[in-house]
Every structure is written in C-alpha cells, then in structure tokens.
Chain A
C-alpha cells in the first residue's frame, strides 16, 4: 500500500499547489515542497527499513521468470484495473526501484528549491506541472504491468511539455514540440511492441495479460523477438538518449526552465536505462544479445560525439546538455555489456550523473538569473566575482570528467571494466571519451570562470538555499566516490536477479562472469583463491569480443 502513496501524494498535492498559487506564490512553493519532501522521507524510511532484506543473499529458487516473481520484491501491490483486457494495477519495488524513487523525489525537491526565485509567472500552474511530472515518474518506476508502465510513460510527457513550452526560454515551443514528437513516436513503437507481445503470449497460452512477470519467457521466433525488441529499444533509446536519436535533448534542455532541465537530466532520461534493464533485456535476451554489437557501437559513438559537440557549444546550458549525451553513452554500453560489473556501474552512473549534471544545470540556471545570459562568450573571469560559484562549478566539472574520488569515476570505471570483458574496443573508445570530457569540462571552466574578466559583471554569489543544495550534492558525490557500497548493496539483488533471469541465453556469455556466479568468494582476502581459480583460464576472461 505504501507504494500507492508515492504516486498519490504528488498527484494530490498538484491541484492543491495550483489552488494555493491563486492566493500567494509562496504557498504554492511550500505545498510543492511538502509534496516532494514527504514521499522522499517515505522512500528513505522504506530504504532503511529494507536494508536487511536487500543485503540478504538472493533467495529465489531458480533462474527465469519464477526467480523474479518470487523473491526480489521488497513490496508489491496488485489490483485489478481493466480485467477484460488483462490489465491490472501492478506495482512493485525492489532495490533498483527504491534508488530511482530516491532520485525522483530528491531531484523533485531540488527542482522546487531551484525555482524558488527563478519562476515568477503562473507559479501555481508551474508547480502543478512539476508535481504531476514527479508523480508520473514515480509511476513509471513502480509499474510492472506493461500497460500501466506505458500509461505513466506517456502521462508524464504532458506536464513536461507544458513546463518547457510555457516557462521555457527562447525557442521553447519548438523545443517542446520536438521533445514531444520524439518521445511520442518512439513511445507508440513501444506500444505496438507491447500489444504484439501480449497477443503472441495470449495465442500461445490462452491468457491475455499485460503482467510483465507472466510475459517473461514467452517463446518467440528469433526474428519476431528482434523486431519487438527494436520497438522497446526505440522508446528507451530516445529517452536515454542514444546517438543518433539524441537531438531533442540539447534543445529541450536549453529551453527548459532550470527545474525542467534538472528533472529531464536527472530522472526523465534515466527511464531509458531503467526500461532497458527492467523490461527490454529480460523479455528479449537473445535479441538483445544479437543487437549487442550495434548498441555498443552506438554507445561508443555517442560518448565521443556528445563530448566533442559539448566542446563546440558556446551556450553553457547546451554544453551541459551534450555532456548528458556523452554520459548516457556509458550507460548504453554498460547495459548491453550485461555483466554484474557493468550493471552495477550503470546504476551508480544513473545516480551520480543525476547529481552532477543536475547541479550543473542549477548552477547555469542561477548564473542566467543573475547575468541574463547563457552565452559563455559574454562571461569570463567570473571566479573573481563569485568565488563560491566558481569553486562549485569546478567541483562539478571535475565530476563530469570522471575524477576519481567522486561517484562518477566509480560508475564509469565499473562500466568500462565490464564492457572490456565483452568488447575491448568499446571500452577503449569509452576511455578515450574521458579525454574529451576533460577537454570540454576545462574549456567550460576557462570560458565562464577563468581568464580575463572582460565584461565587468557584478552579481551576488551563491545564496543560502543554493549553498545548501550544492553542499548536499557535493557530499553525496564524495561519499559515493569513496564508499558507494550502500548503493551497490541496494542494487545487488536486482542485478543478480537480472543476471539469473537471462542466464543460459546468449546475453550472458559463458565464462565471462565466472566471478559473478561465485558470489560467496567476494570480499577482501578470500579473493586470492577465487581469483586464482577463475584466472587460470585466461582465454575465457575476455571471450566474446565482437
């Protein structure tokens, strides 16, 4: 039942915020703050309460569909909805869900805070849209019924559209429409794939249902599976965004209000990765394996292409947007490498990227509020004016380029080490992408904050709210950089479950995770033996390079 609250609280708070906004803008802000803080507290409480369960060894009886249905859910809720079509209101949470919910509400809270000064028109409506987006996002991460998933997937699109189109910047309508069309078209492809899958499953078994756990393991001819997988991939690749379907993102980010950018970069695009992990790969493991080479290539291209284009931008917000393209390339190759190292890296990357990029967007938004431009040609030498801002920007620029000691490094390292076992070239290209990341991050710092102070701007340094927001994000990133274990433990059951569900398919290369299947051998000194065993057949360690 607690899961329902995650969706209900923001949904109900949204009209309240609108009503409150008619009286005073401040009231709307406080309602929105409560509407995101309350579920955040709930998730945190649930996370802490579930610690024992999450850290317990994976208990499912066997591989395959049963494993998922049986053991890995912390909590679930199933209620009939449209029975005649086999659609039910089926929501559940495991470690991955909890992480995504933490992100959703945490960044939701931050986006309310960062709009505190920046949004002055139609404040009530703004927070209505914001809260509904948050509600939709929460629903997406909770749903296990494919129809319900699609419902939330589309539902949060509409308030997001209005956030960009109404409160956005210069080309807001163009960007909003572009965002909408991209997502809508690819979403429809996914809907077709979902319906086809349900029909095929129904014909084979006589049970017409949208329940994900029942659809798992539906026998499909290879060709059909590949086509259906492409339908899912289209939707998630657009969301992620994967090269070459990324072009909506720079526009949407650039023109969205700060809160919109934070939610977009922090949570919305994470749906792509989440959907691939949760639905696409378990449903079509062999097709995903067949597509692996292509996806790795797309991801590697995206990493480098995004970084080079980030370097080429003069609009600071657009630069940050392109860094997202680059970072999500890591996520894509990580997902398709599909071993424990890479998947854990992906989960970490989702969190760390949300924090670091979200912070950069808040920073750029704050800068724009102060000097009314995002054009770096009109900045320069701002460090002297606002040293705290400069130091903060430096920190998050370092996070963007994957500096060890921050969470992003652990994530990228795990992803690349996992990818290396599948394809060395993709891993090498990813590592080269880190060089380009250095180029754009330092270039951004030079153009905005260092160098000569040519424009003689003067504006106030960070406010207290901003200091608080950034400090919390900095602490989180440093913690994740030196001690990411809590997050890894939380996601472990999910990752293990995914590995087991796809065990025996072409996706999990035999031998490639000799180390992952012997979970008991993990831990400091015990590695000696395990490593010696698995390492004695070095040829298998890097097998399967395409």
Chain B
C-alpha cells in the first residue's frame, strides 16, 4: 500500500471541514445541520489521526476517541433537541428559531 503523504490527508480534512461548514451555513434543515456538524467533527478527527501517524505518537488516536465520544453525545442531545424543536416550531427550519433577535 503506497504511503499517503500527510499533506494529502490534511487537504482532505480541510475539504471535508469546508464542506461541512458550507452545509452548516446554507442548509436550514436541522437534521442536515446536525449531519454537517458530524462531517466537521470527523474532518477534525481525520486531521488528528493523520498527525498522530506522522509524529508516531498515540495522542492523535486518543483525541479521535474523544471526538467520537463527543460526536455520539452531540447526536444524542442534538436529535433530542430536534424532536423538541419540531414539536415547538412545527418545522425543522433553523431560521424559525430567531426569537433572540435584538
């Protein structure tokens, strides 16, 4: 298996992060927003793993495990919020939740 250079992996992570971020900004569906957050988290995790491999240290993998755990927790809370949100707003459009405007 040919070695993939660190630059490539980081580039992939950056692209993934950008995709997630753009999705976050452009999509209004709460479920998709949660999915985009997942993508961004995983992009960060990818960067951790790649960096850990590059420096030969386990810290990267450890951090990735943290990210995984956090992502799971986030999904759990996020989906619960999404259900409450839908009950309250009768929609999944995040822009409907603008009651905190000045």
A–B touch (CB < 8 A): the answer is no
A-side residues, CB < 8 A to B, are none
B-side residues, CB < 8 A to A, are none
